[in-house]
A and B are shown apart, each in its own frame.
Chain A
Amino acid sequence: MAVETQSAPRTTVVTQPRRWLTGKQVREIVRHLLTHAALIPAALLFLLPFLWMLSTSLKTDEQLYAYPPVWIPSPFNWANYPNAVTYITFFLYLRNTLIIALGSTIGALISCSMVAYSLARIPWGGRNWLFIATIATLMLPFQVTLIPLFLVFKNLGWVGDFRPLIIPHFFGGALYIFLLRQFFMTIPMELSEAARIDGASEFRIYRSIILPLAKPALATVAIFEFIARWRDYLGPLIYLNDQSLYTLSLGLHEYSSQYGREWGLLMAASVLITLPIILLFFFLQKTFVQGITLTGIKG
């Protein structure tokens, strides 16, 4: 049977008269060309701001105001980069950003994996309610919590340092709990049951069976959280007031509003704060795409 059905199409191909292109192939090529004709202009529009950012970051002041604008400055004015690093105190802000981003990422990984474990792997009574509450917090606007939280942290004497930006992440977050729960549910329950019969504690199962199997999902959470904190502007804006503790985003905006529009320098700094994320993305592209689809559809 299998042999017959496989050989049937082969004979039809051979007996077909040889032509350069069949009508179907021509239509196929035209369709591809039309698709590219739509996709390429769109791609250019998406790339335009990047190219403009890069081009501006290499311009001298005179080239900035040339009209019509110059796309490829000649010679490249690399000086904008060392200037941006010095004037914007790039490495200081980089250190602050990294402390906040890494601290939050560790917090999110520990807390969200534990909560997701509870929701996905332990059959207890209240877990459906907790899951509904978790989804509900995804829909609530954070603005409604902004002022009371600010006042709580102010009364604790935490406003002005990194604590309000890091410590809340040790108490879970809906999106990552949801993402990890979805992933944990795909791990066969028999693994847990067998381990329980062998007398393993719940913590042991979490630590030695589930977490090692969930590395891809944990990696997704780590990257998402790291990038979210790297890009965050509002949190640092509200809680930090000492300039030596600013993050890159806050520092860049502060500089741009104080020293006017020094576009060459500002664009060089923009390239510098964007580049690390883009590099991260290129190394971990698969993890990204998985994460987006895991949170988006598999619900």
Chain B
Amino acid sequence: MATLAQTVRPTRAGLKPQTRHTINGLLFAAPWLIGIALFWVYPILASAYYSFTKFNGIQTPQWIGLANYIELFTEDANFSAAVYNTLYFALVSIPLAIVVSFALAMLLNAKINGRVVYRTIYFLPTLVPEVALALVWVYLFTPGTGVINLPFDWLGLRGPCWLTCPEWSRTTIVLLALWIIGNQVILYLAGLQDVPQDLYDAANVDGANFWHKFRHVTVPLMTPVVFFHLVTSLIGALQFFTVPYIMTGGTGFPANSTLFYSIYLYKNAFHHFEMGYASAMAWLLFLVTLGITLVIFRTSRLWVFYAGGEPG
């Protein structure tokens, strides 16, 4: 009887360690295994299917082949505006953010008084709910009542029209995005503090000046942080939504200049109920993100320097 009970219901303790580990590993990972299947794999496949259909979210999707994609690329002026604005935002704001946050971190890394205070001040804006952020920006940047043009008035100049005209609105949003780089400043500062002092000491012995040390010690050792920053901020920039959506109510005012990719996607899906069309947009975004990330990873071997000698 005892042996029968053991064969029918083998306790986990009786199993080989490797089998036991596999069972436990799967059990502990179970929430995420289900999560990946339900919240990533299924939706990605489903939206691939929807992207080839005409679908309003209620009736059965109708297969229309590549028609959504063809319409996006040949007929839809809003789509090209959204692509242009999003790429403009990514290509201008990311290099600026890298330079500014690196520079601020370098300044903070000089052993000066009040470093913690500065770091806190630079970080605070990243905590503000985006709705509040967008509202205060709109108000600040409204010529007439906002303070933004005050310095121009003092000088007797006419200030820019900021968010109210298409020539300035894209640039304004790029500048505004610089306000929320506190995370990156902290990352660069932590990276700078990890640079071993003996490397600088050795450079000093060799008679290196500030520029040499910066160029040949600091920058190479900081490339992993730049790499991380580049990847995450590119992914983030392509998905930029809440701030411009709130600033303009999603209208893209003025003249579609603040219509970003995600806003246009959202409007197609949830205002016009063009779920198939929006899915095609979502899949294009997915492919572009994937492509760009792969390119950055591939080229990283050429410019990212790992102190341990091995990418890690």
Report the separation of the CA atoms of residues A133 and B29 in the bound assembly, to the nearest whole angstrom. Answer: 12
Q: Is the CB of B107 within 8 A of A38?
A: yes
B282 CB contact (under 8 Å) in A147, A154, A177, A249: A147
Cβ-closest chain B residue relative to A133? B36
Q: Please determine whether B147 and A52 come into contact, CB atoms closer than 8 angstroms.
A: yes
- CB pair B145–A46 under 8 Å, yes or no, is no
Asked whether any CB of chain B lies closer than 8 Å to the CB of A142, the reply is yes
- Residue A289 at the B interface, CB < 8 A? yes
Indicate with 1 or 0, residue by residue over A89-114, a CB within 8 angstroms of chain B CB atoms: 00000000000000000000011101
The reply to whether the CB of B132 lies closer than 8 angstroms to some CB of chain A is yes
Q: A122-B28, A297-B228 are in contact. Are A270 and B135 (CB under 8 A)?
A: yes
Contact: B104 with A68, CB < 8 Å? no
For A266, the chain B residues whose CB sits under 8 A away are: 135, 139
B32 pairs with A134, CB closer than 8 A: yes
A: number of interface residues (CB 8 Å):
96
- Chain B residues whose C-beta falls within 8 Å of the C-beta of A227 in the assembled complex: 127
Binding site of B, secondary structure by majority: helix, strand, loop or mixed?
Answer: helix
Closest residue of B by beta carbon distance from A269: B132
Residues of A contacting B145 in the complex (Cβ-Cβ under 8 angstroms)? 64-65, 67, 69, 263
Q: A139-B235, A206-B28, A292-B183 are in contact. Are A122 and B21 (CB under 8 A)?
A: yes
**How far apart are the CA atoms of A115 and B21 in the complex, in Å?**
14
Of the candidates B22, B35, B135, B194, the one whose C-beta lies within 8 Å of that of A168 is: B35
A171 proximity list for chain B (CB < 8 A): 31-32, 34-35, 38-39
Q: Which of A5-13, A15-23, A29-37 contacts B (4 or more CB under 8 A)?
A: A29-37
Chain B residues with Cβ below 8 Å from A195 are: none
Contacts of B293 in A (CB 8 A): 139
With A43-B122, A118-B29 already in contact, the answer to whether A139 and B135 are too (CB < 8 A) is: no
Bits for A124-166, please: 1 = Cβ < 8 Å to B, else 0.
1111001001100101111111111111101000000000000
Pair B228/A296 contact, Cβ less than 8 Å:
yes
Contacts of B246 in A (CB 8 A): 233, 253
Contact B190–A142 (Cβ < 8 Å): no
Q: With the chains together, A140 CA to B48 CA distance in Å?
A: 14
What is the distance, in angstroms, from B146's C-beta to the closest C-beta of chain A? 8
CA–CA, A32 and B109, complex, Å: 11
Q: Within the assembled complex, what's the spacing in Å between the Cα atoms of A151 and B273?
A: 12
Q: Contact between A52 and B136 (Cβ–Cβ < 8 Å)?
A: yes
Question: B186, A49: Cβ atoms under 8 Å?
Answer: no
Contact digits for B40-82, partner A, Cβ 8 Å, 1 yes 0 no: 1011101100100000010000000000000000000000000
Given known pairs A144-B43, A147-B282, A227-B127, the reply for A202 and B24 (CB within 8 Å) is: yes
Q: How far, in whole Å, are A114 and B30 apart by their CA atoms in the complex?
A: 9
Q: How many A-B residue pairs have CB under 8 A?
A: 274
Instruction: Identify which of B43, B127, B153, B290 contacts A148 (C-beta below 8 A).
Output: B43
Q: Which residues of A contact B275 (CB under 8 A)?
A: 147, 151
The 3 closest A-B pairs by CB, nearest first: A171-B35, A124-B25, A118-B28
Chain B residues near A (Cβ < 8 Å):
13, 18, 21-22, 24-36, 38-40, 42-44, 46-47, 50, 57, 104, 107-108, 110, 112-114, 118, 120-125, 127-133, 135-137, 139-140, 144-147, 150, 153, 179, 183, 186-187, 190-191, 194, 224-225, 228, 231, 235, 238-239, 241-242, 245-246, 249, 262, 265-266, 269-270, 275, 278-279, 281-283, 285-286, 289-290, 293, 312
- A143-B262, A270-B132 provided; 16 other pairs, C-beta below 8 A? A32-B110, A39-B108, A46-B179, A111-B31, A115-B32, A118-B24, A118-B28, A127-B25, A137-B36, A143-B282, A148-B46, A177-B32, A256-B135, A266-B135, A281-B124, A297-B194
Q: List 26 A-B contacts (CB under 8 A).
A: A32-B113, A47-B124, A50-B125, A52-B136, A53-B132, A65-B145, A68-B153, A69-B147, A137-B40, A139-B235, A144-B43, A144-B283, A144-B286, A145-B39, A145-B40, A147-B43, A148-B50, A152-B43, A202-B27, A206-B28, A238-B270, A270-B135, A278-B124, A289-B186, A296-B187, A297-B225
Interface of A toward B, CB cutoff 8 Å: 31-32, 35-36, 38-39, 42-43, 45-50, 52-53, 56, 64-65, 67-69, 110-112, 114-115, 117-119, 122-127, 130, 133-134, 137, 139-152, 154, 168, 170-173, 177, 199, 202, 206, 227, 230-231, 233-234, 238, 248-250, 252-253, 256-257, 261, 263, 266-267, 269-270, 273-274, 277-278, 281, 285, 288-289, 292-293, 296-297, 299
